[in-house]
Amino acid sequence: MVKQEIVVLRYGHRLVRDYRVTSHCCLVSRAFGARKIVIAGDEDEGIRKSVEDIAKRWGGSFKVEFTGNWRKSLAEFAKKGFFSVHLTMYGLPLQKEAKMLRSKKRVLLVIGSRKVEKEVYELSDANIAITGQPHSEIAALAVVMDWLQQGKELGKHFSKAKIRVVPQQRGKKTSKA
Amino acid sequence: MVKQEIVVLRYGHRLVRDYRVTSHCCLVSRAFGARKIVIAGDEDEGIRKSVEDIAKRWGGSFKVEFTGNWRKSLAEFAKKGFFSVHLTMYGLPLQKEAKMLRSKKRVLLVIGSRKVEKEVYELSDANIAITGQPHSEIAALAVVMDWLQQGKELGKHFSKAKIRVVPQQRGKKTSKA
């Protein structure tokens, strides 16, 4: 199996108000093995800095980018061969589409915030539901990445980490890497 | 396989500041099949109402409760036979512990917010990591529930729903149930 390249496109971000939820999206993207996240919304140096600081410390080469134009971003990723997957409770069930999704070499996962324009549904290559229930784009993102990589991402090695967890039954232990 | 009973204990909630993140925790708990969430923190009628309104509309019998004393809650769940699982990046890897976790009839998933007291690590029956990387309790919760139920929860039927999604390749469609 060729390793699939995953990038996340976050639709919508408002300064201050969305800070925590977008931060979670960024950290989940990194922890579950995406190469970068592109945020379509307010440019937010605070988020970029805090996430990239974590990435520096915990390893890997995750990047945070901003765009003022999600349509243009989507078109550019399409040109580069990315298959775009909009995560929405209204889409087709993940459990039925997982095999098809795993066959794509490059995947762009599109996650919304509150209101997503109709065009996102139309321009994405697929609309996929992680349960048909209202919940959380953060949860949807993690679960789809886990299904795409079939759990292998849970043990992912992050290169050039300055610190690593040493798993413990109780308590916290880290080592300098 | 006997159906496992899952309850979520959310450690820490501050009025206003944590509203969105705790809401996501509640909705994920419900969507992925937990029976209820117990929130140890500020009592927040707004969250309870909004989540239970969603539950009424989308079906099932999910409940939101509050406690001022997480130790007491944990002890009460233990008495009822719940195996408590604290989700933390410092714990043992989910992928190695999943089989053991699935064997428990009743599971209490404990999720923290920022700072979790040392005692949570000590009093929980297990400390489990969903990746050893910093990310999101919302993501950790969804992924562990997906692993416990091996994907079956994605197609869960919610009884007495007033509205259901009719999965679509593009666009949104719902039906009155």
**DSSP3 helix / strand / coil % (chain A, rounded to 5):** 40, 25, 35
Angstrom distance (rounded) from CA B91 to CA B134: 12
A131 neighbourhood in chain B, CB within 8 Å: 31-32, 153-154, 156
> In terms of C-beta density within 10 A (0-12 exposed, 13-18 middle, 19 or more buried), how is residue B68 classed?
exposed
Please give the DSSP secondary-structure letter assigned to residue A105: S
B141 neighbourhood in chain A, CB within 8 Å: 139
Distance from CA of A6 to the nearest CA of B (A): 17
Query: Residue B118 corresponds to which amino acid?
Result: K
Structure token pair of residue A76 = 């550019």
Question: In chain B, what are the domains?
Answer: 5-176 (3.40.1280.10)
Closest residue in chain A to residue B130, using alpha carbons only: A154
Q: What is the pLDDT of residues B107-163, one digit of tens each?
A: 999 999 778 999 999 999 999 999 999 999 999 999 999 999 999 999 999 999 999
Q: Give the pTM.
A: 0.97
Nearest neighbour of A95 by CB, restricted to B32, B90, B154: B154
Nearest neighbour of A167 by CB, restricted to B91, B167, B174: B91
Q: What is the pLDDT of residues A100-150, one digit of tens each?
A: 999 999 999 999 977 899 999 999 999 999 999 999 999 999 999 999 999
Closest residue in chain B to residue A174, using alpha carbons only: B90
Contact B131 A31 (CB under 8 A): yes
